Amino acid sequence: MFVSVHHNADPTGRHDVNETQTYYRLGDEGPSYDLGTDLHRSMVRNLGIEVQKLLPGNFSVVRNSDAPSVLTEASYLTHPEVEARLRTPEAQQLEAEAIFTGLAAWFARPRPIVESLALALSDTARVTRTGLPVFEGRIAGACDVVNARVDDVAARVTVAEGIVTIVPAAPLANGPHEVTLAARLAAGGAATPRKLAFRVDKPLASVEAEVVGDDAAGVATPWAGDQPIAVRVRLRDADALPANATRTVSLRVEAAHGVAPVETTAVAANGEAWFVLRATRPLRRDVLKAFVRTMGETREMVTLVRVPLDPAARSTVRAGFAIAEPSGQPLVGETRAPWLSPQGFATVAADSNGARMPSLPGWRTWGADSVWPPHFTRIAGGVLRGKRIAIDPEGGGDDAAGMGRSGSRAATFNLEVARALGAMLEAAGAEVVLTRSADAAVSELERVQAAERFRADRYLRIGHAAAPPIAGYYFSSGGGRRWAQTLARTCAELGVSDSLAVGEAAKYALSQASAVALYASLRRVDDPASEERLVAPGALRAEAYALFVALARDFSRDGDGAAWPADSIVLKRADGSPASGALVTLGGAFVLQADAAGVVRFVRTEPGPIEVRGADSRSAFRGLLLDSDRGRTLTGAR
């Protein structure tokens, strides 16, 4: 096992706090929990400190140990009497013997042992050609609880005289996976789990081709020949899952005369390949035919694509290559949008007003979205794309997390800010998880566990506490301190909070999250003036936007984020009065809200013109903000 011996300190500077705490590895309710229980019981019994806690811990030293692991905090060095006592050899000997006794108790527990775990049938020791592989494990010693998981999903288990057979609950896709086998003897001990990394490599079973733009029933859209069309080819295994995630499969398309290219090849990636076809002359045949053939497999597979031709039909789609500004090159590699091929070929709905451009996570439109071909630019230079952000709205359920004099619950404000921030981050290409999505009680442990399962890069707790505003970080986190400093500067720049202190915060989640963590309480709920500002138009959305900009700046490795200039728009109704609370979208990506004076403050996180338009049906605000625009006024009927 691994034992890390510590003595605690109160982060608030108090000298009357003394407590025994034992942390076992978060997520290991087996041998690490047993070890923590035995160590904790022995320390409490022998050291005699009344206040005590046994807690799951996510400190780096226990998280990164493969063996059962704990971290002990026997007492507080910041308590003068404890500090003096710990200087004596007798106290040190007593604590050492208490830990020793706990270790001995753990080793004395009767426990099973997972001796082996392997694929029962495989081409090699760690590769299988089926989506439902069978695993066999061996357990020595008595046990009455056996669990197995594949990729953290419970698997089907059969136990017969120490031989365990494991089958995944559902077919697995091609690619890497991991199976874990654990066992426990009730009222005894738990075995150290055994893990096996393996790969699934199933052969190709079917090829399906479709024209992008077909309806849900597979009915092909009539083609007039005036727009290019995209053909998507899906390769599937016997389980109808992507077939070539672990190998390269080439395909060849052969099209009818009058269509280019007549013959070409493409390489499938993640079970898909794309072809773009266009007419080279007026087409008179009734149907465009294109044959798609696989290459490099043991048997050739052919699928036929049919597209009805109607030269008189008016095109209901716009097609062409989307452009990435400022590079001016096709937007290659974007696969998260179904209307955009990995080669940057866009197929979108069109009407008399032009193309209806869908949103593209991580990008905003460059100028007006009616321009064709469409032009996009990376939001904040792409620094948030693929980042995983855990947002933790403080409070919930019976915990109001602070109460205003007029009855406002801080927990409600926290959740609203978290929802708005989550939408902004997803628009910028990040992945987001909220530790709670409703006004429900969630324990501190559950919040940390949610972030760990998500494998978050950043952990942000949002509060509006009955205390001075703070950007708080765990005392030893350099990354948290830098993030807090960035947030304070950003809030002052955007007028969200001029008095945001930067300091240490004694929050369990900040100490246990493996990600860089921050506690942001930008306004206090119990101050009447602050509460009035919180319920004012645009206040909560402005907080969310400030948190978004600070996160983007924190991820900006080259430091460009510090130079992003602040800007603002003044919105007025047709009669000239301020459009208080009006909603607008910037670049088709972010929804921001005007304050009581009709002002929308934002930061130019990327160059280029930004289209501004009203975000609800009652607003007619619309304009194009150039790089040189500052404080432009937009007037619209409302």
Rounded Cα distance, 623 and 368, in Å: 9
Query: What pLDDT was estimated at residue 203?
Result: 85
Say whether domain 388-555 belongs to CATH 3.40.630.40. yes
pLDDT tens-digit profile of 439-461? 889 999 999 999 999 999 999 99
Contact 486, 478 (CB under 8 A): no
Token couple for 207: 């090829």
In this chain, the answer to whether the domains covering 224-308 and 388-555 adopt an identical fold is no
Q: Which residues pair with 481 in a beta bridge?
A: none
Rounded Cα distance, 150 and 177, in Å: 7
Say whether domain 224-308 belongs to CATH 3.20.20.70. no
Q: Which residues pair with 251 in a beta bridge?
A: 266, 294
Query: What pLDDT was estimated at residue 638?
Result: 36
pLDDT over 90 at 191, yes or no: yes
Residues 460-465, mean pLDDT to the nearest whole number: 97
Contact 614, 620 (CB under 8 A): yes
Question: What residues does each domain of the chain span?
Answer: 2-108, 113-200, 224-308, 388-555, 562-636
Name the pairing type of β-strands 113-119 and 52-57. Answer: unpaired
| Helix, strand, coil abundance in the chain, percent, nearest 5 | 20, 35, 45
Query: What pLDDT was estimated at residue 633?
Result: 78
Superfamily of the domain at 562-636: Carboxypeptidase-like, regulatory domain (2.60.40.1120)
- pLDDT level of residue 218 (50, 70, 90 thresholds): low
Token couple for 58: 């996510």
Token couple for 261: 């290219």
Contact 301, 295 (CB under 8 A): no
Rounded Cα distance, 355 and 339, in Å: 12
**Best-predicted range by mean pLDDT (217-226, 279-288, 503-512):** 503-512
Percent of the chain topping pLDDT 90:
58
pTM for this entry: 0.86
pLDDT tens-digit profile of 343-400? 888 888 777 666 777 888 999 988 765 667 889 999 999 999 999 999 999 999 999 9
Query: What pLDDT was estimated at residue 253?
Result: 81
Rounded Cα distance, 228 and 246, in Å: 31
pLDDT tens-digit profile of 149-161? 999 899 999 998 8
Rounded Cα distance, 9 and 83, in Å: 11
Superfamily of the domain at 2-108: Zn-dependent exopeptidases (3.40.630.40)
Provide the CATH topology of domain 113-200: Immunoglobulin-like (2.60.40)
Query: What pLDDT was estimated at residue 454?
Result: 95
Rounded Cα distance, 560 and 556, in Å: 6
pLDDT tens-digit profile of 47-101? 999 999 999 999 999 999 989 999 999 999 999 999 999 999 999 999 999 999 9
pLDDT over 90 at 295, yes or no: no
Residues 94-116, mean pLDDT to the nearest whole number: 96
Rounded Cα distance, 32 and 106, in Å: 10
The label of the residue with tokens 């996160």 reads 551
- pLDDT level of residue 315 (50, 70, 90 thresholds): low
Closest CA to 192 of 118, 126, 107: 107
Rounded Cα distance, 290 and 404, in Å: 67
pLDDT tens-digit profile of 392-432? 999 999 999 999 888 889 999 999 999 999 999 999 999 99
Report the mean per-residue pLDDT for the chain: 88
Query: What pLDDT was estimated at residue 309?
Result: 66
Query: What pLDDT was estimated at residue 25?
Result: 94
Kindly report each contact of residues 331-336 with a partner whose C-beta sits within 8 Å and lies 24 or more positions away, as own/partner: 331/363, 331/376, 334/360, 334/363, 335/270, 335/272, 336/361
